[in-house]
Structure 1
């Protein structure tokens, strides 16, 4: 065993440094589902800034320094409070916010979101192709594109709720096809891994695996 370690010490050091970098500084995450459409597509690989919110001990999730807080509109990677699955969603409500959603329309701190039609599309949902409506949404200083599936049964309401300290309301941009805080509950700050900041690479793996070069390096949000 000692001889094996000596013979491969360079490679083992590389693996250690790689693990330190990926768990404490920067990471990447492939997009496996359509819950963030139209902004993130299946086959996108996004860059995650692990230092956006916290400094953690490498190779662990133990926080050692607070570096910042999520802002409304951030695209965040986190562990689901329900089952620990790694997810990516958008922050819509912050600690202390009073939020409500009725028939897909958001209200935050008494401000009703403004919506404008961007376009229409056909999307896959539940194994079939359905009509999709794409809108721009502006609320609480955040601006993002969202997608609605009018003919798909979905959770379209959130009862009036004040977000407790240290908790965040996360929603998918594909509002009617996303298992987000309406399903898994509010997300504690301790579950946050980092902020997704741009698309590194993208390929259409559902069809022909062709690279989508126009998406390479695309920024997800500008503060």
Structure 2
């Protein structure tokens, strides 16, 4: 048991996705694998960095400790130290370059925010910035922070956003995230259970890459 605790605190861990803030990329009930050595080697059970392994990259899906309340969160890293970030009516700008948005159809209703949580219109887009692309959701009928003035990301800090853009408590609300608060990178799922359907397995998500 001590060995398992050590592995989960220093090498690799797994988490249950509890909310819809990363739809359609991560669904409620997904069990994700977190590589805790992706960026840094840390002193076990602390945020003390012993050695840098590699630098977080724009577009990575990461786990981190919220600077607001210490809760473990999973979001997409959208801006690096030195980047100037701005949002205008949902559209993201990085260093003056606007992301492109291509409307797309949801893969299934299961990849949309559950109706028990939100019953309004949901629009799915493929967000592209340079060579990076991923799907995201906007909710026109939901109150959300859709615009903010240009912000320069300080050294050692990162901006995180949820892919379910209007249903995510991310850096727009909790602030930028320091590197030492990043706990790992998520690249793959272990398995997924649909809690709205009696925890039936989503077999297509078993071992799937993000």
Please say if residues 172 and 178 of structure 1, whose CA atoms lie closer than 8 Å, have aligned partners that are also in contact: yes
1:139 pairs with 2:108: no
**Cα displacement string for residues 1-55 of structure 1 (whole angstroms, at most 9, x for unaligned residues):** xxxxxxxxxxxxxx11111111111001110000000010000000000000111
**Cα displacement string for residues 102-158 of structure 1 (whole angstroms, at most 9, x for unaligned residues):** 000011011110110112566347844121111001114321111111111111012
Q: In the alignment, what sits opposite 2:141?
A: 151
Pick aligned residue for 1:53 from 36, 39, 42? 39
Q: 1:212 to 1:54 in 2, by over 3 A?
A: same
SS at structure 1 position matched to 2:3: helix
Alignment length (residue pairs): 206
Q: In the alignment, what sits opposite 1:98?
A: 84
Choose between structure 1 and 2 for higher RCO, CA contacts under 8 A separated by at least 6 residues: 2
Q: In the alignment, what sits opposite 2:165?
A: 175
Q: TM-score, normalised by structure 1?
A: 0.88
SS at structure 1 position matched to 2:133: strand
- Equivalent-residue separation in structure 1 for 2:48 and 2:63 (angstroms): 16
Query: Which structure 1 segments of 5+ residues have no match?
Result: 1-14
Q: In the alignment, what sits opposite 1:202?
A: 192
- Equivalent-residue separation in structure 1 for 2:113 and 2:119 (angstroms): 5
SS at structure 1 position matched to 2:208: coil
**Higher Rg of the two aligned structures:** 1
Q: In the alignment, what sits opposite 1:164?
A: 154
- Equivalent-residue separation in structure 1 for 2:116 and 2:158 (angstroms): 28
Query: Which structure 2 segments of 5+ residues have no match?
Result: none
1:64 pairs with 2:54: no
- Cα deviation for residue 60 of structure 1 reads 3.1
Q: TM-score, normalised by structure 2?
A: 0.94
> Once superposed, which parts of structure 1, at least 4 consecutive aligned residues long, lie more than 4 Å away?
none
- Cα deviation for residue 59 of structure 1 reads 3.4
Q: Please tell me the root mean square deviation across aligned C-alpha atoms, in Å.
A: 1.5
